Structure formats: structure tokens, C-alpha cells
Structure 1
Amino acid sequence: MRTFIFLLFIGFAISMSSCREDFEFKPSTGDLTFSKDTVYCDTVFTNISSSTYSLKVYNRSNKDIKIPTIRLARPDSKYRITVDGMTGENQNNHTFRDVELLAKDSMYIFIEVTADVASSNPTDFLYTDQILFDEGTNQQKVELVTLIQDAYFLYPKRFSDGTTETLTIEGIEEPIYGFFLDENDPVNGNEYLWKNDKPYVIYGYAAVPNNKILEIEPGSRIHFHAESGLIIGNGATLKAKGTLEDKIIFEGDRLEPGFSNVAGQWETIWLTAGSTNNEIEHVIIKNAVVGLNIDSNDGNFMPIKNTEIYNSSLIGLYAKTAKIQGENLVINNAGITSLYCGIGGSYEFKHCTFNNNWASSRQVAVWLNNYYKDIDGNTQTEALDQADFKNCIIYGSNTNELLLDPDSGAAFNTSFSKCVIKFGTTSNQLYSFIYDENNIKRSENPDFLDVSKNKLIIGDDSSAKGFGVNIGVTNDILGNPRTTIDAGAYNSVIFED
């Protein structure tokens, strides 16, 4: 037995010594390979941190190696890197020493950048650096490139006692993180004129007070940070009038392509009760919680023309006891409904396209009602004086995309003329109009180009082609003359294969 134990010990010692070489790391010889030779970080605003990007480093040799240094080339680099989960020697993680990498193995390097326009190349606004692997003749490198975009930054003031500016809004108990615009701001100048020379980035809610007009130039781009938005107060006015060539765009402040169609990145554009003379034309609103939130306005019809609202996590256009005239309005995809006209009001929609393919069994494209529940649970009604839809498309992925939701305590007046409506069978007399084949095409495919990419142009085989009548909206949303009168915001086209 003692001999057996002795032989076992000798065998174990021999096996350990034979494996020792596996744990001896040789200096690298410049033979690393990389998942990419240049890491392009997507466009960021000045002094706003980027997303995190990754680079994979491979040791394809049969030897375990030790990389003497991995570092950023610029000593004052605005980039930050972590190597295989490790932090570097200094505060900004610029240098890593003696990094071990096993044979036939790989590791990740994660990269971020926070830079400003002043540090970028003045001719192209690119900020560049390199990750250097090893030194001397064995040195290898991977390029780092990002585009820095300058912007106007609007945000609440911070006071000397450490508190920040807030807004008190009627009907909301808690103050909200926000600020009033300033026509004599020391940095931005007149904040009641949003210019198109560079983007605006908004933190918190930007508010327009009584008797003030916010005018937004054609071609302006407005980016909202998370939980931010725009408030047009009682007696205030929004003039957002773009052109066919220079649309005004409202969206989130994440510029990476992966965020281009992500809903709920910012809050809303809120036209509060009593806001007056608002105009919206040639505007795109993307990726909000609620795209447009319109309370009871000043009693006059508010025009919304040639406007697109996409990817709202709750509601695209949320109108309450409002008066709206919509022409060439396109709303696509929302968690609850693309268009909500509730608690009464008056609405006219001509040549509009309302679609909802949100992945939910309860979503609809259009929801109309004339009541609400107060805080005590009691039903309060307001007359829906009119909700007229002419030459419109109401469609989506569910069987029924139109919800008529009245209370008998107030008027509920709706009309649908020459519309394509996604709707199944029903015995409810409210929907009797959907069986009028001369006036309504029920559940016939409008043949959209690509709903997932918000391309709601209709094809040559669309059920909406030629179904409309002349109601005075002479051009479609793209500015094309309406020779054949199609339902919806777009003229039909022949799709290319």
C-alpha cells in the first residue's frame, strides 16, 4: 500500500511538471488579431458620453502570451477603455500593463468616449485616438473614431443651495424637473427662437409661459433626454412650421442607429389647456412616450398638417376636449393607440393614415370617447361634437383597429367617409357604417411599403387606391399632386422588387 501511494505521488509530480509550461507566459510578438481594425463610435453630442463599444482581441498562437502594455495613444485622451474586466493604472483607464492572454483565447476591450467639439478636428469634427498594443517593433494598433456634434443645451438651473429649478403644473401635485425658457439667456440668447444651425438638447421639461411664442425654424432638430419634454403653457403658443424640404424633427438624444426606432426615449410635447394659436406643419415626432399631448385648447381649430408621429410607447396623438384639424397626418405604432380623441372635443381628419402594429392584443389605431373617470371614480362626460374622418386609413395588426367608446351622458358624433378601416364583424349599431361598401372598405389591405420602418406609402395594389373623393387637400404628404384621389396621406406608387 505504501508503495502504491509513493508511485501515485511520483506520477502526480511528473504530470504537474509536464504541465508547467502551460502557465509560463511568453512576451507577445506582435501577432495579435482583432475583430476590427477601426472602432467607429457613433455620433455623440459635445460632452455627452457615448454608448459602450467592444473590440475583441485574439491570441491565435499555441503559446500563452503576456502583452507588456495596452494603452491609449493620446495622454489626454477623451476615450476610456477597460481590458478584460480590468481597470487601468490611472483615473481614465489609459494604460494596462502585463496583460495575460492564453493560447487560442480571446478577450474583450470596452470603449467609451466623452469629448467636446473643441477637442475634435476643426475641419470634420472627428475625434480620434488609437489603442496601442505593446511597444517598439511589436506594436500593433486599432483606430478609434467618433463624430462630435455641437448643440444648444437647455436644462434647469442649479441654485447655490444645491437645489435645481422645477415647474409647478396645475393638476400635478409634485413639481416636475423643468425650467422656463429665457429670451435673454447668456449662453443661448433668445430661447424663444429655436434655430436650425445646430441641434437642441433638452434636459427636463422646457416650458413656454403665458403670452410667449416658441417659434421653431424649418430644419431644426430637437433632442430630448430621458424623462424630458416640451410644455406650452396657458396663453402660450407653439409655431413649429417646417417645410417639405426642411422638416422639424423631435426625437431622443441617443444618436446610435440602434436607438433610431426605440419607443419611450423621452416624454411628450404637451400643449396644455389654454395654449393658443398653435400650428404644427411638416414635423416628425419619434420615439416618445406620448408624441403630442393636446389638452383643451383655445376654442379654435388647431391645424396639424403633413406631420408624422412614430413609435410612441403609449399614445401617438393624445387629444382631450380639443379642437384639431388634421391633414396628411401619419401616426404609426403605439403601445395603446396611435390616435386618442377623448373626453369630447371636435376633430376633422382629412387624408390621414393611422396604423398600429404594436405587439399587443389590446392596441388600436384610433380610439374615440366622450368621458373620463374622476379621482372618486365618478364618470364625467364631455360632448364629442364631431369626429369626422374623410379619405383616411385606419389599420393595424389586430382584428379591430377602431374603438368607439361612448357614454350616453353626452353627445357622441362620428362620421367616416371614404375610409379604409380594419374591422371584423359586429352587431353593435355604432359600427353599422362599416358595412357600407360604397363608403368604407373594411379590412382590405392598404399595402403599406414597410410598417416596421414607418414607411406607410401605399402600393399600386392598395385597397386605398382611387377610393377617395376630392375634399380640397390637393397634394399628398410628399408634395405630390393628387390626380387619382387615394385614401390616406400618401399617393399610391408602384413598388420596385
Structure 2
Amino acid sequence: MRNIIILFIVGLAISVSSCREDFQFEASTGNLTFSKDTVYLDTVFTDIGSSTYTLKVYNKSDKDIKIPTIQLGKGQASKYRMTVDGMVGENNRIFHDVELLAKDSLYIFIEVTTDVASANPTDFLYTDQIQFDSGDNFQKVELVTLIQDAYFLYPKRFSDGTTETLNIDGIDEPVYGFFLDENDPVNGNEYIWGNDKPYVVYGYAAVPSGKTLNIQPGARIHFHDSSGVIVGNGASFKAIGTLENKIIFEGDRLEPGFADVPGQWETIWLTAGSTNNEIDHVIIKNSIVGLNIDSNDGNFMTIKNTQIYNSSLVGIYAKTAKIQGENIVVNYGGVAALACTLGGSYDFKHCTFNNNWSSSRQVAVLLNNYYEEENGNNVAFDLTQADFKNCIIYGSNTYELKLDPDTSEDFNYSFTKCLIKFGTTTDTLYSWIFDNPEIKRNGNPKFLDIQNNQLNIGDDSDARGFGDNVGVANDILGIPRITTNGLYDLGAYQHEIFPED
């Protein structure tokens, strides 16, 4: 009896399986439904591919159907590409006899790579359609993309097939990059970056000795992956915006999903010997290292009213540098918001260094004065000064300040009227933090919205009314610093009253 039951079950399974081998597909009758009637692909730059967007197609009938054609309206000439349920069809643009079971759906994934010349000249929109079937059964879904024109800066390609590269001290392999040109046949003077349209940089744009890269108010600079700026020995970098027209450095992916993704490009690298560098009213975001500053030529560089966000390693990485900074905001860094290493000389006033990177090792501020050789010996440098006045040093970890000295050389630092997040410790290196009237240890600045890089402080912030007058008249928003009982707010922002949720 048991064997009979087993044979019956096996036979039933075989018969069911064989029945499913041959569906009876009927021609589509034009009754497909879609997850959207228009797919908007976010703004892209000329010749830079978009993200992938999704359209879902539904067969809500009780019949298995066959769609004779699914194609892009412009056919093989279309700048869009798509796959249909994983199939590539004819060059990702035309598909024949696509089967769709009853009460089932299929996915179409769409991408675009195009240029501004292909767009409508009045609104810079590039459009097409996904077309289903024809005649009385014709259906369509619109595709719309905004193409943004830009100045494109990239290495030259030579007649022998090689590409322009840079030889950088301390790096064994040539770097994919190029020197800017005062008389470029397309871009004109590449040492002046204006605000009439964005700049898109491939590789490293290099400023040689004796030249100055001047970036004008309102300029927007977008870096491709593994790209940045290198300012050489004897060269200068001046990015001077205004309160109303800030200069913005970011990646070249314009889709909302990339708005806060760290590590999309490399760095602004001010190499050893670069001179007279100035940065004011600038936003730097989504890099590996925001500002990479090697030893200057002996003069202090200035960084004012500057915001640096979402650096996968460090927001400001200084090495034997000389920096005067005020109204600086740095938030999120994989290692540190600010790292002053290999000694140097630093003076920071009314700065906010916060780090809420999701690990247990990152800090807001790191100070050290040496590097370790492969043999284990330290090479030390003087930390002449590292002065922090009216600053906030905060973050998600218990200890947001790390001091890492080699005592064979000077290691001078001071924190005056600062809010510092720092837990308990028996390490005497940090004994000055405790019971110090100049330090508000573990106060809560109560930032407006850390996740969205809004480090404004409110009326109930512990950073309110604790600082001295250090000569910075306005905050990063241009608001006059008003005292509370004769004392000034800490950090880059004057306090405000936030609206109720």
C-alpha cells in the first residue's frame, strides 16, 4: 500500500510538471499597467552614466500573454539602455515576443548616457519612450532626463595611445592627472574657475609652481572617482566665495542617492611648499580626504567659513602644516574630522569638529607629532602650537580628542573655553581636561540635525554663552556674535531658537 501511495505522488508530480511546460500565450491586448507613467532619471552631466532606474510592468489579466515588442521609441539611436527581466534584447533597446504570465509582472531597468548636444536646446531635457506593442494595443511610458552642460577637465590622450600623467614626490607610480592650461582651446584659461557652468574634473588637476588656481564665488566643482586637485611647490590655491555664493566641491554623481555618500572622489591636496593658500565660504563634501595639507612654505594658510562633510577618512588632514582657521565645521570622518599630524602650527577659533562616523575608533580631533618607520623608530617633529579657542569637539564616541605625542620634540597645545566630549581616564596626559574652568567636559551642544550636517546650536545648548571674545565678529552664517552675560557661544554658529516639530 505504501509503495502505491509513493507511486501515485510521483506520478502526480510528473503530470503537473509536464502540464506547466507548455503555456498557451495569447497576444497582448494593450491592457498592461505600469508602476509609473513617466520615469524621471535624475540630472546627469554630459557623457556620465546615470544610476539605474526601475519600471514594473503588470499583467493583471487571467491570461498568459506575449508582448510582440518592447522597445525604445528612438530605437537603436536612443541614448537610453534597458534590460527586460534580465534580457538584453537587441543592443538593450529592442525586445521581441516578451512573455508575461497571468497576474504576474516583469522588471525593466533603465539607464542613460548622453550629452547636452542631444538634449532639447531650450530646456536641456533628453526624452524618449518605452513603447509596448503597436497599433490599437500601443502603450508607452515616458523617459525624461535633464542633461547639464559643464567645463570638462581631463588628461590629454597622445597620438601613441598613452595618457597624460603626473609624477608626484613620494608616490612611486605616475598619477592619472594633468596640468591646467592658460590657453586651452576649449575651456580658455583653466586657472580661473568661474560660476557660469559647473566644472567636472577627471583625474588630478595640477597647479604648477608660480601659478595660482583662482576659484570664483558660486563655482561648483565636481570630481569623478579617483580625482582631485594638486597644488604644487610654489603654487597657490585660492577658493574665496561669499556668504551668498559659496564654492562647492563634490562628486560628479548628481542623483539624490549620492548626496551624502562618502569617498566619491579623492582630495584637494596642497602639497609641501604651496604658498598663500586661502579658503573662505567653501563647502567640501563626500571626498576621501577633504583638505590634504602638507607643510606650507612658512606662511600660515587661512581657512574661514568652511564646511567639510562626509569624508571617508579625514575632513582636514594636516601634516607639519600652518593653519589659521575660524568658523570651520567638519562632520563625519572615517578616522577623524581634524587630524593635525607630524607637528606644525595651528590656531582654530570658533570651530565645530564633530564626528558621528559609525565606528568605535574615530575621533573628532587628533593631534600628533611623529610618524613610525618600518623599523619601529619614530621620526618626530615640533608641534609648535595647536590652539583651540571657543571650539566644540564632539561626536558619537566616549573620547573625541586623541593626543599622540613623541616627547623627544615639542608637543604644545591649548584648549581655551572649549566644549570637549571626553570620558574618564587615568592617563595623566589628559589630566588637564578634568576640573578645568576653561573646559566644558561632556556638555551637550544639542546640534540641530547631525545626520543632515546641520550643526547649528539651539537656545538650550551647553555650547551657549561659555566663550571669550577672540576677535571673530560674525558666525559662519554672517550673524553677529551676541554675548550671553558677556560670554560668547562656542563653535561656528551663534545659537538660535529652533522651531517646534
Q: Is this a same-fold pair by TM over 0.5?
A: yes
- Residue in 2 that maps onto 1:114: 113
Are 1:195 and 2:194 counterparts? yes
Deviation at 1:146, TM superposition (A): 0.7
Contact 1:64 1:100 (8 Å CA) reproduced: yes
- Residue in 2 that maps onto 1:33: 33
Which letter does structure 2 place at the counterpart of 1:403?
K
- Residue in 2 that maps onto 1:87: 88
Find the aligned partners of 2:164 and 2:419 in 1 and give their Cα distance.
Answer: 48
Contact 1:22 1:64 (8 Å CA) reproduced: no
Is the alpha carbon distance of 1:464 and 1:17 closer, same or farther for their aligned partners in structure 2, counting shifts above 3 Å? closer
Structure 1 residues 35-74: aligned runs within 5 Å:
35-74=35-74
- Residue in 2 that maps onto 1:493: 496
Are 1:348 and 2:347 counterparts? yes
1:412 aligned counterpart, secondary structure: coil
Which letter does structure 2 place at the counterpart of 1:36?
K
Structure 1 residues 209-288: aligned runs within 5 Å:
209-288=208-287
Find the aligned partners of 1:12 and 1:385 in 2 and give their Cα distance.
Answer: 86
- Residue in 2 that maps onto 1:412: 411
Deviation at 1:43, TM superposition (A): 0.6
- List per-residue Cα deviations over 1:298-325 (Å, max 9, x = no partner): 1111110000111111111000111100
Find the aligned partners of 1:84 and 1:342 in 2 and give their Cα distance.
Answer: 53
Is the alpha carbon distance of 1:156 and 1:395 closer, same or farther for their aligned partners in structure 2, counting shifts above 3 Å? same
Is the alpha carbon distance of 1:12 and 1:288 closer, same or farther for their aligned partners in structure 2, counting shifts above 3 Å? closer
Find the aligned partners of 1:70 and 1:338 in 2 and give their Cα distance.
Answer: 51
When structure 1 is superposed on structure 2, of 161-170 and 232-241 the one drifting more is 161-170
Deviation at 1:400, TM superposition (A): 0.5
Deviation at 1:17, TM superposition (A): 12
When structure 1 is superposed on structure 2, of 119-128 and 342-351 the one drifting more is 119-128
- Residue in 1 that maps onto 2:79: 78
Find the aligned partners of 2:17 and 2:202 in 1 and give their Cα distance.
Answer: 63
Deviation at 1:99, TM superposition (A): 0.6
- List per-residue Cα deviations over 1:224-271 (Å, max 9, x = no partner): 111111000000000100111111111111111111111111111000
Are 1:150 and 2:149 counterparts? yes
Alignment gaps of 5+ in structure 2: none
Are 1:446 and 2:445 counterparts? yes
Are 1:178 and 2:177 counterparts? yes
The number of residue pairs the alignment matches comes to: 490
- Residue in 1 that maps onto 2:296: 297
Structure 1 residues 362-401: aligned runs within 5 Å:
362-401=361-400
2:318 aligned counterpart, secondary structure: strand
- Residue in 2 that maps onto 1:333: 332
User: What is the TM-score of this pair, normalised by structure 2?
Assistant: 0.94
- List per-residue Cα deviations over 1:390-447 (Å, max 9, x = no partner): 0000000110000011111111111111100000112333322322453111111100
Structure 1 residues 115-130: aligned runs within 5 Å:
115-130=114-129
Find the aligned partners of 2:396 and 2:161 in 1 and give their Cα distance.
Answer: 50
- List per-residue Cα deviations over 1:153-208 (Å, max 9, x = no partner): 11111111111111011111111111111111111111111111111111111100
Find the aligned partners of 2:374 and 2:466 in 1 and give their Cα distance.
Answer: 45
Contact 1:270 1:294 (8 Å CA) reproduced: yes
1:231 aligned counterpart, secondary structure: strand
C-alpha RMSD of the superposition: 2.1
Deviation at 1:134, TM superposition (A): 1.0
- Residue in 2 that maps onto 1:101: 100
2:451 aligned counterpart, secondary structure: helix
Is the alpha carbon distance of 1:155 and 1:21 closer, same or farther for their aligned partners in structure 2, counting shifts above 3 Å? closer
Find the aligned partners of 2:296 and 2:375 in 1 and give their Cα distance.
Answer: 25
Find the aligned partners of 2:374 and 2:255 in 1 and give their Cα distance.
Answer: 41
Which letter does structure 2 place at the counterpart of 1:226?
D
Find the aligned partners of 1:108 and 1:431 in 2 and give their Cα distance.
Answer: 59
Alignment gaps of 5+ in structure 1: none
User: What is the TM-score of this pair, normalised by structure 1?
Assistant: 0.95
Is the alpha carbon distance of 1:412 and 1:98 closer, same or farther for their aligned partners in structure 2, counting shifts above 3 Å? same
2:143 aligned counterpart, secondary structure: strand
Find the aligned partners of 2:410 and 2:13 in 1 and give their Cα distance.
Answer: 93
